Structure 1
Amino acid sequence: MADTLKSTPTVLPDVTRNLAGLLAPAAAVLLVALVVAAVVGAWPPFVAVESGSMAPAVERGDLVVVTSTERFPWGGLVGSHEPGAPTRLGGPGDVAVFAPPQSGDRPILHRIAFSVSEGEDWTERADPALLDGSCEALTSCPAPHGGYVTYGDANGEYDQSAGLAPVVRPEWIGAKALVSVPNLGWVRVGIDAAIARFGIGPTMLGVGGLAAILGGVGATVIGWVGKRRRV
């Protein structure tokens, strides 16, 4: 009986170890994302930039780390026109992630200029170089509600002057930017494009399969290198 047990192949442990090796890279990425989310207080803690409206500090394909708007120690939202505004992503003032009702599933990453009150003619406090017309010519002036006037650094005009967004209500703002990492957002941009074309199910299967293949290749290479060193 003892000899029979010793000669039985240990297939199940081998399968378990191989599966763990394939899933380890994905688990590590998820763990890092959860830790970052716990620190910054926002989910997802990363935003992929899909346009050049915040160039040159933030380019298309960059990955931006975001935080909750009230998260310590960064405090609340500060507009670029406020005295002593902190520098965020290459300019004064906070850069917010917000989603007006008409934006659908595509949030906007733009800089906050200043806050406004309902009924205010905010053009009196605005930079004339960022305006296209008087208050009477703008649909968002006087301000239909309290909120924020915003702009993209590369656009040269307030969103509310260009018609890109109404005055941004505070509840539309999901997070604000901390730092950007060049080019790391292309993965997210590619996944979003694949979901739009093929659907979320096939895309997730494809991403999972690719992660498993890369994990297997990585494990094989590491094992081969380890054997070479032992020899």
Structure 2
Amino acid sequence: MESSKLIGIAREIISTLVIVGIIVGAGILITGTWPFMVAIESGSMEPHMHVGDVVILMSPDRVGITTYVEGVEKNYKAFGDYGDVIVYHPNGDRSKTPVIHRVIAYVEKGEHIPVKIGNKLYLSKYVADHSGYVTQGDHNNAPDQPIISSPVKKEWIVGVAKLRIPLIGYIRLIFS
């Protein structure tokens, strides 16, 4: 192969990496988190989010977190229901697939964990082992706590969902 062809290929690779770097850097700068977008992998957030959707995240430090309980009081909705939707690492374990679910309430250590059934909240028999957020998929009949994770600590949160782009996440899901 000629050296001019090799130089051309190297130039294309370098320019592609620079463009990707600019996009990633701008995304982190704008959202304050990494990753700043995730693909929905399960139906637990139906009917408001679907498998294959991509969700853009923002750092909770920039946008705050509104629980379902607070959302009802303020009449604040995100993705079709009260309260924010977050992405978090179950029990802070970064080796596990992050979960994307709605924030139901904030509980203090020793408080009973609430369960959202329809539009009503009930107290479960489970008690929080530490303070944090209680989360639940919109399609689920039970909260994530204590089954998937203990109450979600702020440092476990990747981001707050702010924008849903339908279907384009299938591209990522095909390759994973």
SS in 2 for 1:81: helix
Q: 2: distance between equivalents of 1:127 and 1:18? A: 56
- Identical positions, percent: 29
Residue deviations 1:89-130 (CA, integer Å, cap 9, x gap): 23221111111238642010001011011111244xx54558
**Correspondence for 1:84 among 71, 74, 86:** 74
Q: 1 or 2, which has the higher strand percentage? A: 2
Q: In angstroms, what is the RMSD of aligned CA positions?
A: 2.7
Aligned partner of 1:225 in structure 2 is: none
> What is the CA-CA distance between 1:23 and the residue it aligns to?
5.1
| Runs of 4+ off more than 3 Å | 11-15, 21-27, 101-104, 126-131, 133-136
Q: 1:85 to 1:40 in 2, by over 3 A?
A: farther
Candidates 161, 169, 173, aligned match of 2:153 = 169
Q: Which residue of 2 aligns with 1:147?
A: 132
Q: What letter matches 2:79 in structure 1?
A: L
> Which one of the candidate residues 111, 115, 118 is aligned to 2:109?
118
Residue pair 1:129, 1:157 contacting (<8 A) in 2 also: no
Between the aligned partners of 1:49 and 1:27, the Cα distance in structure 2 is 28
Change (3 A) 1:87 1:151: same
CA deviations 1:124-180 (Å, max 9, x no partner) are xx545589x9643xxxx221110111111111322227x233222222212111111
Q: TM-score, normalised by structure 1?
A: 0.64
* TM-score normalised over the length of structure 2: 0.81
Q: What are the Cα deviations for residues 169-200 of structure 1, in whole angstroms up to 9, with x where unaligned? A: 22221211111111222232233x3xxxxxxx
User: How far did residue 44 of structure 1 move?
Assistant: 1.6
Flag structure 1 segments of 5+ consecutive residues without an equivalent.
1-10, 194-231
Distance in 1 (CA, whole Å) between partners of 2:44 and 2:113 is 23
Query: Which of 135, 141, 144 is the aligned partner of 1:159?
Result: 144
What is the aligned partner in structure 2 of residue 64 from structure 1? 55
- Between the aligned partners of 1:151 and 1:185, the Cα distance in structure 2 is 22
Count of aligned positions = 171
Correspondence 1:17 to 2:25: no
1:185 aligns with 2:169: yes
- Give 1 or 2 for the bigger CA radius of gyration: 1
Q: CA deviation at 1:67?
A: 1.3
Change (3 A) 1:89 1:29: farther
Q: Any conservation in 2 of the 1:79–1:85 contact (CA below 8 Å)? A: no
